[in-house]
Chain A
């Protein structure tokens, strides 16, 4: 098994061993000097510091990220891939969508400051919004439900995690990752056999029917690859939230909370427990993968 040895040893030392160490620390006190049983997990459930370390909000926000970020990115990626395939400036379009992936998080933070800035003389989005007659909103700070922006109703009308700022952050994530989905999906679309499409057209199907009945089923495997990558990205998406809001204003997700508990508050026990929860999130995803993996094996 010489083929696997280098990879497995590296993964074991750099990833598996730290995970084991983290699981151990999740049962210990803040500076890992004595065992405390399940106290750290109880912290996550009881949520005793709702103002500075809102564990419940972080879990809910992660779910929102999981659903909205993954869903929209895949859907948008598919739309763009389909549309771009029909125009001559396809390469240009795809490059424009891909560029955000090349941007470092420090730069992304600066960019989106210019976008989200409250003062409509400086913030691009608020400049547009005020031109259209609406009120400027502090996008990254506003914890109101997304409907409050349209109706100007009270700030807490919708339950967590449906806050304007969560959606603002997720849009940035979508902005960064759609390029990934587009490039892969448009490649997948081009792999579809042209004979099948021809046959469908000869049978009199319109474009809409062709898309849903012929094209879509064929790219489902591609969609699964993308979705898996994006789901994992949504889970560990630390940098983006960290540089834009740092998890303030109720935007924490598990990864940022883990970071703050471990390194800012130096509470390694709770930090480790949060990391373990993050890992536990992946188990169902892995179970789905294992089924697909085995099915693929049999098909071969």
Chain B
């Protein structure tokens, strides 16, 4: 109970005061005209940047509704002027592509557990790195974080050798695939978890280390075990950071093609990225499908981002202020 009470008083709840602060700051030394100018230029600069950032994606969006021949012959902006000839064919063709529904499910079956698993494993390690004292802690942490730079391609062959030896080819009911190793969903979960760990541990350790020390001390005084502290203090307090991490992990796993291609040789089990890749023949470009497919595959991650945006902003905040 005492633990709960303290939670409310942590820094994660701070960052709402600035808006009011900004509005009040009007009484500064700037003249009214100068203030208008500076406000004006803020808007101009910001809107210019937003436009510059959105144009490429907007171009993609517009193109995805154009006829293939139009895409090849004229720039996307021509679709906005002149005759409006938009079509849903591209989306229709991508969605009716064989296996697309199954591929979408596969992407989910791969991404969701991988994301959860990697966060859980990383949180445990980050907790140990942040709050436990043991010899070689710094070196171990740096070893893990140093692995951030390892190109995934470098790991594929050695890991595939191991996977080949540990494959259990018992079919899993409902979701399909082997029980473990190659062509198995659990194999993908473990692989994605491992590849995501360096960044996840890096981010979470910084967050955990920023939690106030007295929180832990009082908990230990109350006789809480480390497991209790982890589940009752660290995890609940880190909701925002975990959400932020979740977004990143989910995005990367959702967009992965390479790892799936190597460890998931079976096209029945392959994620959407592979199904999208198969829209293009060995000689073709087929922009019309790629543009539509790009938006279909972006939809879910963006939805999650917007849903979690509030947490996201706060989460990384607490991690970075101190860390």
Chain A interfacial positions (CB closer than 8 Å to B): 1, 3-4, 6-8, 10-11, 13-19, 21-22, 76, 79-80, 83-87, 91, 93-107, 110-115, 121-124, 127, 175, 178, 183-184, 186-191, 194, 197-198, 201, 204, 206-207, 221-222, 225-226, 228-229, 232, 235-236, 238, 255, 258-259, 262-263, 272, 275, 278-279, 281-282, 286, 289-290, 293-294, 296, 300
Q: Select B75's contact among A16, A112, A124, A300, beta carbons within 8 Å.
A: A124
Which A residues are in CB contact (< 8 Å) with B129? 4
Cβ of B142 and Cβ of A290 under 8 Å apart? yes
Interface positions, chain B 271-291, Cβ under 8 Å from A, are 273, 276-277, 287, 290-291
Given A21-B158, A194-B18: A106 touches B74 (CB 8 Å cut-off): no
Q: How far is the CB of A41 from chain B (nearest CB, A)?
A: 17
Cβ of A100 and Cβ of B53 under 8 Å apart? yes
Q: Number of contacts between A and B (CB, 8 Å)?
A: 274
Listed A/B pairs (8) with beta-carbon separation below 8 Å: A11-B147, A87-B43, A99-B53, A104-B257, A122-B75, A190-B15, A204-B29, A238-B151
- Smallest CB-CB separation from B297: which chain A residue? A104
Q: How far is the CB of B20 from chain A (nearest CB, A)?
A: 9
Task: Tell me the bound Cα distance from A194 to B146 in angstroms.
Answer: 36
Q: How far is the CB of B207 from chain A (nearest CB, A)?
A: 10
Cβ of A114 and Cβ of B54 under 8 Å apart? no
Which B residues are in CB contact (< 8 Å) with A191? 11, 14-15, 317-318, 321
Which A residues are in CB contact (< 8 Å) with B190? 10
Cβ of B17 and Cβ of A194 under 8 Å apart? yes
Main secondary structure of the interface of B (DSSP, over half): helix
Main secondary structure of the interface of A (DSSP, over half): helix
Which A residues are in CB contact (< 8 Å) with B50? 93, 96-97
Cβ of A111 and Cβ of B313 under 8 Å apart? no
Task: Tell me the bound Cα distance from A113 to B142 in angstroms.
Answer: 39
Q: How far is the CB of A267 from chain B (nearest CB, A)?
A: 14
* Residue B206, interface by CB 8 Å: yes
Task: Tell me the bound Cα distance from A7 to B124 in angstroms.
Answer: 8
Cβ of A114 and Cβ of B21 under 8 Å apart? no
Interface stretch among B81-89, B95-103, B194-202?
A: B194-202
Q: How far is the CB of B252 from chain A (nearest CB, A)?
A: 10
* Residue B314, interface by CB 8 Å: yes
Given A7-B144, A100-B53: A15 touches B153 (CB 8 Å cut-off): no
Cβ of A255 and Cβ of B151 under 8 Å apart? yes
Cβ of B75 and Cβ of A106 under 8 Å apart? no
Which B residues are in CB contact (< 8 Å) with A201? 25, 28
Q: How far is the CB of A50 from chain B (nearest CB, A)?
A: 23
- Smallest CB-CB separation from B286: which chain A residue? A110
Cβ of B150 and Cβ of A19 under 8 Å apart? yes
Q: Select A104's contact among B22, B25, B294, B313, beta carbons within 8 Å.
A: B294
B148-188 interface bits toward A, Cβ cutoff 8 Å, 1 = contact, 0 = none: 11110111011100100000000000000000000000000
Task: Tell me the bound Cα distance from A127 to B76 in angstroms.
Answer: 11
Q: How far is the CB of A226 from chain B (nearest CB, A)?
A: 8
Q: How far is the CB of A82 from chain B (nearest CB, A)?
A: 9
Q: Select B141's contact among A85, A127, A278, A293, beta carbons within 8 Å.
A: A293
* Residue B243, interface by CB 8 Å: no
Given A7-B125, A263-B153: A114 touches B56 (CB 8 Å cut-off): yes
Task: Tell me the bound Cα distance from A299 to B18 in angstroms.
Answer: 27
Cβ of A222 and Cβ of B321 under 8 Å apart? yes
Cβ of A4 and Cβ of B125 under 8 Å apart? yes
- Smallest CB-CB separation from B280: which chain A residue? A106
Cβ of A293 and Cβ of B290 under 8 Å apart? no
* Residue B42, interface by CB 8 Å: yes
Cβ of A102 and Cβ of B305 under 8 Å apart? yes
* Residue B312, interface by CB 8 Å: yes
Which B residues are in CB contact (< 8 Å) with A103? 57, 294, 298
Cβ of B128 and Cβ of A93 under 8 Å apart? no
* Residue B236, interface by CB 8 Å: no
- Smallest CB-CB separation from A21: which chain B residue? B158
Given A16-B147, A106-B294, A232-B149: A112 touches B276 (CB 8 Å cut-off): no
Task: Tell me the bound Cα distance from A8 to B318 in angstroms.
Answer: 26
* Residue B93, interface by CB 8 Å: no
Q: Select B206's contact among A10, A122, A225, beta carbons within 8 Å.
A: A225
Q: Select A300's contact among B42, B213, B306, beta carbons within 8 Å.
A: B213
